[in-house]
Amino acid sequence: MTSKRQHLQDREEALLERIQNLPEEERRTFYRRLGEEVRHPGTYTFLNLLFPLGLHHFYLHRRARGFLDVGGVVLGTASLIAGAPILGLALVLGVVVMELPQLSRARRIVAEHNLALQENLLEEVTSGKRSTPVHPSYF
């Protein structure tokens, strides 16, 4: 765990140095865009407490994972109502088991997301081209 934390910290420091070396106008553009798109760990954690809804995944633009959670809970609930309790419980518990670790790693997940966002924004600002966001994979 420490090596992951150290790696994240090293990336942050290198990124900060690159940002500080930007011309004033590019730096302003970078921080303006960052303020619009940065995600907050507290919001992610709150949404994660509602894990069957998958809202925390949508918050980080991880739509496929969000729909997986929603689909699992909807199918599980429908199975329970339709008289297939084993399948229904398995689906709902499967979502719960997949999502519980996200609670303990919420700060790191959001930090990785925000770091990837900053790296993409920096690339966009310096190249003048829009890029497709690259989100860290924690699927």
pLDDT at 64: 94
CA gap 36, 41 in Å, rounded:
15
Is 8 part of any domain?
Answer: yes
pLDDT along the chain (139 residues), means of 10: 80 91 91 93 89 86 93 94 95 90 88 93 82 52
Would 135 be classed as within a structural domain?
no
| 115-121 contact pairs (CB < 8 A, 24+) | 115/8, 115/11, 115/12, 115/15, 117/34, 117/37, 117/38, 117/39, 118/15, 118/19, 118/34, 119/11, 119/15, 121/30, 121/33, 121/34, 121/37
**Cβ neighbour number for residue 57 with a 10 Å cutoff:** 25
- How confident is the model at residue 1, as a pLDDT? 53
Cα distance between residue 89 and residue 84, in whole Å: 9
pLDDT score for 3 = 83
| Structural domain boundaries enclosing 99 | 2-127
Structurally, how many domains does the chain consist of? Answer: 1
Q: What confidence score (pLDDT) does residue 139 get? A: 42
- Report the predicted TM-score, pTM, of the whole model to 2 decimal places: 0.78
Per residue in 5-14, pLDDT tens?
A: 888 888 999 9
> What is residue 51's predicted lDDT score, i.e. its pLDDT?
66
Does residue 95 lie within any of the structural domains? yes
Please report whether residue 136 resides in a domain.
Answer: no
